[in-house]
Amino acid sequence: MTGKNRLNGGMIDRSTSFGFTFDGVSYRGCAGDTLASALLANGVRLMGRSFKYHRPRGPMTAGSEEPNAIVELRSGARKEPNTRATTAELFDGLVANSQNRWPSLKWDAMAINDLFSPFLTAGFYYKTFMWPKAFWEKLYEPMIRRAAGLGTLSHDPDPDNYDKGYLHCDLLIIGAGPAGLAAALTAGEAGARVILADEDFVLGGRLIADTGTLADEDGATWAGKTVARLQAMPNVRVLSRSTVIGAFDHGIYGMVERVSDHLLEPAPGKPRQILWRVYSKRAILAAGATERPIVFENNDRPGIMLASAMRAYANRWAVSTGSAIAVFTNNDDGHRTAADLVSKGVKTTVIDTRPDAPETTDYETLSGATVTNTQGRLGLAAIEVTLSSGTTRSLTVDGLGVSGGWNPNVHLTCHQRGRPQWDENLAAFVPGGTLPSGLSVAGAASGAFSTHRALQTGQAAAVEALGDLGLKASNPDLPKAEDAPIRVTPFWHVTGAKRAWVDQQNDVTAKDIKLAHQENFRSVEHLKRYTTLGMATDQGKTSNIAGLAIMADVAGKQIPEVGTTIFRPPYTPVAMGVLAGRSRDKTFRPVRKTPSHYWAEEQGAVFVEVGMWMRAQWFPQPGETHWRQSVDREVLQTRKSVGVCDCTTLGKIDVQGTDAAEFLNKVYANGFAKLPVGKTRYGLMLREDGIVMDDGTAARLAEDHFVVTTTTANAVPVYRHMEFVRQCLFPDLDVQLISTTEAWAQYAVAGPNSRKLLQKIVDPEFDISNEGFPFMACGEITVCGGLRARLFRISFSGELAFEIAVPTRYGDALMRRLMEEGKEFDVVPYGLEALGVMRIEKGHAAGNELNGTTTANNLGMGRMVSKAKDSIGSKLSERPGLNEADALKLVGLKPVNPDDKVVAGAHLMTKGTPVDAAHDQGYITSACFSPNLGFHIGLGYLKSGDTRIGEIIRLVSPLTGVDHEVEVVSAHFVDPEGERLRA
Amino acid sequence: MIINHPILGPRDAAEFVYKGDASLINRPDWQADDAAERFHEYGYLRDNSAGLHRELWFHEQGDRSWLVVTRDTTTHEITKVELARDVARAEGRSR
């Protein structure tokens, strides 16, 4: 036995019994059950507490539209809050818990809110927690969030993997009910590449939830056979457990496939879920329809559910949802539920709002009657019916099915701003306006509610799509099915009902909607936000229309006049993990490693992320306990003898063509036309608005060949910009560009012994003496006996220095060779920190100074911007506002008291003025301890800084409590005359 | 979105980087008498059209072509895709 409420039949596998727990109590269910069907089979119908009033709630539906049966699944790091028990597939070992209750689901202390309900109406928070204002953030909001909430997170890292994938098809069919299956069969047999996706784990839609026949077999059998036929077609991909969550531009759909949610944990190597991006030429929405409830007093007790859900539980899951059941309906479909229940032996009574309700001898029908109240503390025990005569009658029932008609699932048709249209005959919104391009709608989603019409419209939509695709349809024969007419008389809510729930998940009552109208929140968008109608995780799938109908009623309007809010993706809630995919933790983004990365690792380097690159920050030696010890040593040893630094990460762009120099004249503010072959020049690159974009060097290897460097951070944007200039602004220049950043490993060799070290590896036919290879020389050479290399005599450190580049695959070997050959000079590898210290000591600008607000003038390089030629940014850099007399200028700063620090980000103030923005004089961009000078130094921008050398000013950082005096000095702290460079 | 690259065929928009209005091709003459004014307009003034919009996209994860894409800003329908270099030449740009 798998529960006291099990009936015969159904699509569950009684031979596979699963054990599971809910709130710590053990139960058993079957393969094929959902958590909700298994709990109902065991007689458990109290599954949650409502959001605001903590009212007892049970499942209202049997599908993804569920507002009430919201639970936490699993435990530990895999705990997932706010999942719907009605879609959670049962597996052996499932652990589920109710949420938003304390201490237990049956005895919830916060249920006291229900007694205060007259005060807790719409807008209560807005009106009540206004004063004192400061209390909101610290007291009111945390308090409200604790009381009104959903589930809780484990706060542990998610142990599962999520994938992303891409699918291409001719035709995407969304939903595998009768319409979707007919469409897939038609398109599949015509040879189209078809994807058929359905959110359920068994395909068939209402065919597996309802009784009724197709030709001479029952609907579920036909669905099973059809799915098997489709799965056998190589051109058809059938995806169950796959929800199409959004319709995006140009036939692209988002789809979440729940690969492993029905397992205790994913199989080894398998993801938990996959986010598919589906590229379709055509698509058919066959998402079916959702039954809607009727609003009446106390309509939210466990045991009250949609009539079609009762039918699904009985037919598909073989679960009786009550021993004596009433069905409250305004349409013929409610009678189908009654007929199915009666055939299963359940005592049933129908309350039909229509005076002319169909009569039958199978069950009692109360025509022209309404349900006006219900009783039962933790579940339904009895209902009060007001008969057409006006008298009331009490019915002792533990189940009440409600059927207010059906709403087509139009959601995806609205994702490109299509607006649904009101269909008077169906009393429902059907797809309307402009649909996403390539999408058509079939079956109940289009308002074709009968099985016969679902099959026909599904096939017709496929034939139309095949025509667009240039394929010939074979029109396979479809089985004969029921074609009952739609007979519904709109009935939305029982007049006078107050504690009558419209949106059960967000606890919005009919009274709240009337209040919103009374307080003039009458536009449908205002109504939604004031009352929170339709804003919960179910996005109002069962509540929106009833809410609109009540609003229309109190406003004296028709429903189409009230309008609808718009549906946006996702169709159902999506786990954040699947949106992230593999982009998390260490795989958040790709890691780029330089060729000598593993060598640096062997040296115990401490790495830092620079964009995607991993760069060695410093190389700690035994005995060094603080990073400053390592950095100071690397700086001092480089300036004393020789150091080597990996600068592979700098961007490198190869520029070739007869107009290469002319092109560089355009992209750099300074001139390149006259640069001789074999020479390198510093280049300053401006944006068109005159702000500095980047800087680097351009080495002329031949008349028509330059190698340009960019900063590490700007390698990609600079390349993009140069291609823009080349293709869009000067399309006839003979010049070609290619990024060679990853083709060359490059190392800075700096210090007075750098030449001696390089002479040991550069092949002897190349003269790199000061005469043969002077400052700013460049050339193509060979090293280590014939390996091709490039040598540049450029210096960022201010020392005699070179940069040497070899093909990437030799980078590791070159680094090891330099270390080996350098032993006699006590060569030191230095990292990014030492590089930074040396460039600050030398007064070289870097990213901190080129911060997107500074001009050449600010950098003291105003005269580099050539007036004799056209270059990007030169014209707008002349703007008066960028060239005021008191413009910021780059200066050096050193503390008056040598023990004081210079702090990056601190501001500069003239002595004796107030510390405020109006008196601000500038700010520090870079700061460090200079081991050569023995005190802290900084670079910064100071108003008219170039004329204030020697002035003592205040360095202030109110946030960190810094306030002391610094002296304005030249930015060139070390070797201001550049003698070392040229040695 | 899908951009139908004139050389490579339909490509996902994720392969591209967006820049902005295709009027950025029409860079003013630096020697014009009113060059300062024209560069200001070029740099800062854009039409904000609801409807057809010509705009620059860079195929960064592809062949590094700059494209001029004509897109309806209200529907995202793309009606024309051209190589920016061809557009620039047609508009009289050269060296």
Q: What is the pLDDT of residues A847-903, one digit of tens each?
A: 999 999 999 999 999 999 999 999 999 999 999 999 999 999 999 999 999 999 999
pLDDT at A116: 79
User: Domain count of chain B?
Assistant: 1
Which residues sit opposite A347 in a β-bridge? A324
- Alpha-carbon span A11 to A914, nearest angstrom: 80
Contact criterion met (CB below 8 Å) for A524 and A565: yes
- Contacts of the segment A697-700: beta carbons below 8 A, 24+ positions apart: A697/A792, A697/A794, A698/A655, A698/A664, A698/A668, A698/A672, A699/A778, A699/A790, A699/A792, A700/A661, A700/A672, A700/A675, A700/A676, A700/A778
Q: What is the pLDDT of residues A56-71, one digit of tens each?
A: 999 999 999 999 999 9
pLDDT at A130: 67
Nearest by CB: A876 against B43, B66, B85: B43
Q: What is the mean pLDDT of residues A601-620?
A: 97
Task: State whether A727 and B19 contact (CB < 8 Å).
Answer: no
Contacts of B40 in chain A (CB under 8 A): 876
- Among the residue ranges A98-112, A116-130, A152-166, A324-338, the one predicted with the least confidence is A116-130
Contacts of B85 in chain A (CB under 8 A): 727-728, 731
Cα–Cα separations (whole angstroms), residue A821 to A748, A815, A835, B53:
15, 10, 22, 61
Q: What is the pLDDT of residues A293-308, one digit of tens each?
A: 999 999 999 999 999 9
Task: State whether B94 and A730 contact (CB < 8 Å).
Answer: yes
Nearest to A567 by CA among A806, A287, A782, A776: A287
Task: Determine the residue type at A456.
Answer: Q
pLDDT band at A149 (very low <50, low <70, confident <90, very high): low
In a domain, B12, yes or no: yes
Does the structure show a pLDDT above 90 at A220? yes
Q: Are strands A304-306 and A399-403 parallel, antiparallel or unpaired?
A: parallel
- The vertex-A262 CA angle with A261 and A266, nearest 5°, equals 60
Contact criterion met (CB below 8 Å) for A928 and A936: yes
In a domain, B7, yes or no: yes
Element (H, E) at A428: strand A428-430
Task: State whether A250 and B76 contact (CB < 8 Å).
Answer: yes
pLDDT at A59: 98
Number of neighbouring beta carbons within 10 Å of residue A234 = 8
Q: Where are the beta strands (DSSP E) in chain B?
A: 2-5, 9-12, 17-21, 52-58, 66-72, 78-83
Contacts of B76 in chain A (CB under 8 A): 249-250
pTM for the model stands at 0.92
- Contacts of the segment A858-861: beta carbons below 8 A, 24+ positions apart: A858/A887, A858/A888, A858/A889, A858/A890, A858/A941, A859/A684, A859/A692, A859/A890, A860/A889, A860/A890, A860/A946, A860/A971, A861/A684
- The vertex-A721 CA angle with A715 and A723, nearest 5°, equals 105
| Exposed e or buried b per residue across A293-328, where buried means at least 16 C-beta atoms within 10 angstroms of its C-beta | bbbbbbbbbbbbbbbbbbbbbbbbbbbbbbeebbbb
Look up residue B45 and give its two tokens.
């003034």
- The vertex-A19 CA angle with A13 and A21, nearest 5°, equals 130
In a domain, B84, yes or no: yes
pLDDT at B27: 97
Interface residue B23 vs chain A (CB under 8 A): no
Q: What is the pLDDT of residues B8-46, one digit of tens each?
A: 999 999 999 999 999 999 999 999 999 999 999 999 999
pLDDT band at A141 (very low <50, low <70, confident <90, very high): confident
User: Which domains, and CATH codes, for chain A?
Assistant: 1-152 (3.10.20.440), 162-289+408-469 (3.50.50.60), 293-404 (3.50.50.60), 590-649+743-831 (3.30.1360.120), 650-740 (3.30.70.1400), 839-861+871-969 (2.40.30.110)
Task: State whether B94 and A874 contact (CB < 8 Å).
Answer: no
Q: Name every residue whose Cβ is closer than 8 Å to that of residue A780 and which is 6 or more positions away in sequence.
A: A701, A788, A789, A790
Nearest to A974 by CA among A919, A947, A934: A934
- Alpha-carbon span A535 to A552, nearest angstrom: 19
Helix A219-231 and helix A178-189, axial crossing angle in degrees, nearest 10 = 30
In a domain, B68, yes or no: yes
Does the structure show a pLDDT above 80 at A134? no
Query: Between A541 and A108, whose confidence is greater?
Result: A541
- Alpha-carbon span A411 to A414, nearest angstrom: 6
Contact criterion met (CB below 8 Å) for A520 and A514: no
Task: State whether A728 and B56 contact (CB < 8 Å).
Answer: yes
Does the structure show a pLDDT above 80 at A145? no
Q: What is the pLDDT of residues A731-779, one digit of tens each?
A: 999 999 999 999 999 999 999 999 999 999 999 999 999 999 999 999 9
Can the peptide bond before residue A132 be classed as cis, meaning omega within 30 degrees of 0?
yes
Contact criterion met (CB below 8 Å) for A331 and A403: yes
- Alpha-carbon span A442 to A449, nearest angstrom: 10
* DSSP-derived secondary structure letter, A680: E
Residue in chain B nearest A418 by alpha carbon: B75
Does the structure show a pLDDT above 70 at A839? yes
Task: Determine the residue type at A537.
Answer: T
Sheet arrangement for strand A606-610: A592-593, A613-618, A606-610
3 state DSSP class of A574? coil
Look up residue A871 and give its two tokens.
């270059």
Nearest to A372 by CA among A356, A395, A355: A395
Task: Determine the residue type at A516.
Answer: A
Interface residue B2 vs chain A (CB under 8 A): yes
Interface residue B75 vs chain A (CB under 8 A): yes
3 state DSSP class of A51? coil
Task: State whether A731 and B88 contact (CB < 8 Å).
Answer: yes
pLDDT at A754: 98
Please report which residue ranges of A570-626 form alpha helices under DSSP H: 576-580, 597-602
Does the structure show a pLDDT above 70 at A148? no
- The vertex-A654 CA angle with A650 and A656, nearest 5°, equals 160
User: Could you list the residue range(s) of the whole structural domain that residue B83 is in?
Assistant: 2-90
Nearest CA to CA, how far is A661 from chain B (Å)? 13
- Alpha-carbon span A440 to A670, nearest angstrom: 59
Helix A832-842 and helix A627-640, axial crossing angle in degrees, nearest 10 = 60
Cα–Cα separations (whole angstroms), residue A229 to A223, A226, A850, B52:
10, 5, 65, 46
In a domain, B95, yes or no: no
Does the structure show a pLDDT above 80 at A599? yes
Would you say the C-alpha torsion A62, A66, A71, A75 has a positive or negative sign?
A: positive
pLDDT band at A51 (very low <50, low <70, confident <90, very high): confident
Does the structure show a pLDDT above 90 at A128? no
Does the structure show a pLDDT above 70 at A681? yes
Which residues sit opposite A928 in a β-bridge? A937
| Exposed e or buried b per residue across A34-61, where buried means at least 16 C-beta atoms within 10 angstroms of its C-beta | bbbbbbbbbebbbbbbbbbbbbbbbbbb
In a domain, B83, yes or no: yes
Look up residue A291 and give its two tokens.
């039954």
Give the whole-number percent of chain A exceeding pLDDT 70: 99
Does the structure show a pLDDT above 60 at A1? no
- Alpha-carbon span A73 to A265, nearest angstrom: 12
Number of neighbouring beta carbons within 10 Å of residue A485 = 8
- Alpha-carbon span B13 to A308, nearest angstrom: 43
Q: Name every residue whose Cβ is closer than 8 Å to that of residue A124 and which is 6 or more positions away in sequence.
A: none
pLDDT band at A147 (very low <50, low <70, confident <90, very high): low
CATH classification at residue B36: 3.30.2270.10
- Among the residue ranges A311-325, A550-564, A756-770, A795-809, the one predicted with the least confidence is A550-564
Q: Which residue has the tokens 């993997």?
A: A161
In a domain, B9, yes or no: yes
pLDDT band at A361 (very low <50, low <70, confident <90, very high): very high
Can the peptide bond before residue A81 be classed as cis, meaning omega within 30 degrees of 0?
no
Contact criterion met (CB below 8 Å) for A48 and A57: yes
Interface residue B80 vs chain A (CB under 8 A): no
Contact criterion met (CB below 8 Å) for A15 and A320: no
Does the structure show a pLDDT above 80 at A136? no
In a domain, B25, yes or no: yes
Residue in chain B nearest A281 by alpha carbon: B2
pLDDT at A119: 73
pLDDT at A89: 98
Q: What is the mean pLDDT of residues A106-118?
A: 82
Contacts of A720 in chain B (CB under 8 A): 17, 58, 60
Nearest by CB: A727 against B12, B66, B78: B66
Q: Where are the beta strands (DSSP E) in A721-827?
A: 736-739, 744-750, 778-783, 787-792, 801-807
Whole-number mean pLDDT of chain A?
Answer: 95
